[in-house]
Amino acid sequence: MSAPNILLVDDEPSVLRYTKTLLEIDNYKVETASSGEEALQRMSNGPAPNLILLDLILPGIDGLQTLESCKKMHPEQKVLMMSCLNDTSKVVQAIKLGASDYLTKPFQPTQLQGAIRRALASNTQIENTQATKYIVKGTEIVENLDDDLFFLAASPAMKQLRAQVALIAKVDVPVLLLGESGVGKEILARLIHKMSIRAHRPMLKVNCAALPADLLESELFGYEAGAFTGANKPKPGKFEMAQKGTILLDEIGEMSAPLQAKMLQVLQDGTYSRLGGRANLTADARILAATNIDIQKSIAEKRLREDLYYRLNAFTMTIPPLRERREEIPLLLNYFMNNMATKFGKNALLISDQMVKECLAYHWPGNLRELGNFVKRYLVMESEALVLEELEIKGKEGNGGGSTPSSSKGGLKAMVRSLKDGAEAKEIQRALEGANWNRKVAAAELNISYKALLYKIKQHGLAPAPQAYHGLRIASGN
């Protein structure tokens, strides 16, 4: 295998010679350029290098302009930015433009070597860093997080998000996470925290939609004794509890206008006050915000402050819905099954080819949350036929992802489903009464699992007749 080819771009001759020597010692093939124009000329006249090491400050067009032009010429080109400036805005801009990593000069040889290895790493390699460890099986990246959560990336879009997380986690700026409900915004937030310098401190989540405005304010900022009726002693808020850590503001779009103004102050000058308090406190927590709203529409309707949005929007990450990364569904089914089986102390059930096929065809409006619940029901009911039947019914109701069927078509489906449910309920009721409501006996007669029968009893609202209750009490001696 030939040595990787690296294009080194720097206008300082001494730095150029020193870095070139370091690279050649590690057996890389090195070409050099002293300006952005020269680097772009080299890119247009020959094959693309495996990696570009690009200085930020250059004569003529700067490093960011050069990076943007390189990406237009070769979208898959890997570029490692270098600079003596530790400017977070420049780092964020470089990440947005597609930089693979960012090194602050002067750097140690080991730092350069590590950054190059990460940038050149193939999808089948395993990377270990001090902040996080992830496992690559085949082409997917899997990272275990706290609370039995995991991050999985197998699609190009999710792999790109994972690469962005590795960079933005190092830069202490707010991040706005966008995507549909259940798509995995909290998982991505936990991954950012885990890979950041704040990983040793707590990460706290606040659901802005779950509490009224006054309670949400006290939850975030705390209160002093006597601030309101029942406040007998002071209480710290989430910002105090997350000091030097990370706070996730989930459903930020549901926050009231007055509270948005107070949040803007926190983002602008890093200070706030408790409810009923006079002293200003310092907020040293990285803010991650998540929402599934249409941002521009919400701003236009004055439900979200535009200035707050721009403060939160130092960097935005949009997570695609599950239906746009279907290649991950078979992998997610297996990981959900293994994790839940371990959590509940059960044996993992088989994920059959038929189940995978049906899951690939379904549109998953609830995304990862819905898929996880599907696996959980399968694990509990132990009946593939029942969970696939439910999936089919939901698929017909959703009509493939949100369009409304015609009234006649919808009426026919509803009628068929009603007849089917009625026949099923009648048959289950017959079996239960024939077994004197001994559910294990009835389950055996119906050839379904005991847990599946319990689920169906609840689904159809079945109950013993009054005389059956009396018979059961006599039989049990109660």
Together in a domain, 80 and 35: yes
For 234, the 3-state DSSP assignment is coil
pLDDT reading at 473 higher than 80? no
How far apart are the C-alpha atoms of 243 and 117, rounded to whole Å? 34
Give the count of beta carbons closer than 10 Å to the beta carbon of residue 77. Answer: 19
Together in a domain, 304 and 158: yes
Q: Give me the CATH number covering residue 262.
A: 3.40.50.300
pLDDT reading at 475 higher than 50? no
230 within a domain of the structure (yes/no)? yes
Together in a domain, 399 and 334: yes
pLDDT, residue 459, reads 79
Together in a domain, 303 and 198: yes
pLDDT reading at 213 higher than 60? yes
Together in a domain, 296 and 180: yes
Structural domain tally of the chain? 4
Tell me the two tokens of residue 108. Answer: 């140690």
Check the CA dihedral 83-85-90-92 and report its sign. positive
362 within a domain of the structure (yes/no)? yes
128 within a domain of the structure (yes/no)? no
Question: Domain residues for 110?
Answer: 5-120
Together in a domain, 186 and 314: yes
How far apart are the C-alpha atoms of 269 and 191, rounded to whole Å? 26
The mean pLDDT value of the chain amounts to 86
Supply the pTM of this predicted model. 0.74
Together in a domain, 306 and 326: no
What pLDDT, in 10s, does the model give residues 304-354? 999 999 999 889 999 999 999 999 999 999 999 999 999 989 999 999 999
**Rg of the chain over CA atoms, in angstroms?**
29
Percent of the chain with pLDDT over 90: 57
Q: What is the DSSP letter of 2?
A: P
Give the count of beta carbons closer than 10 Å to the beta carbon of residue 136. Answer: 17
Kindly report whether the peptide bond that precedes residue 75 is cis, defined as omega within 30 degrees of 0.
no
pLDDT, residue 451, reads 77
Which of 318, 351, 379 lies at the terminal end of a domain, its last residue? 318
Mean pLDDT of 378-398: 88
Closest CA to 322 of 377, 378, 379, 370: 370
Together in a domain, 257 and 113: no
Q: Give me the CATH number covering residue 442.
A: 1.10.10
Question: What are the φ and ψ backbone dihedral angles of 153, each rounded to 5 degrees?
Answer: -130, 115
pLDDT, residue 469, reads 43
Mean pLDDT of 130-147: 62
pLDDT reading at 415 higher than 70? no
* C-beta separation of 189 from 176 below 8 A: no
Contacts of 49 (CB under 8 A, 6+ apart): 5, 6, 7, 31, 77
Tell me the two tokens of residue 48. Answer: 């693309």
458 within a domain of the structure (yes/no)? yes
| H-run or E-run covering 252 | none
pLDDT reading at 115 higher than 90? no
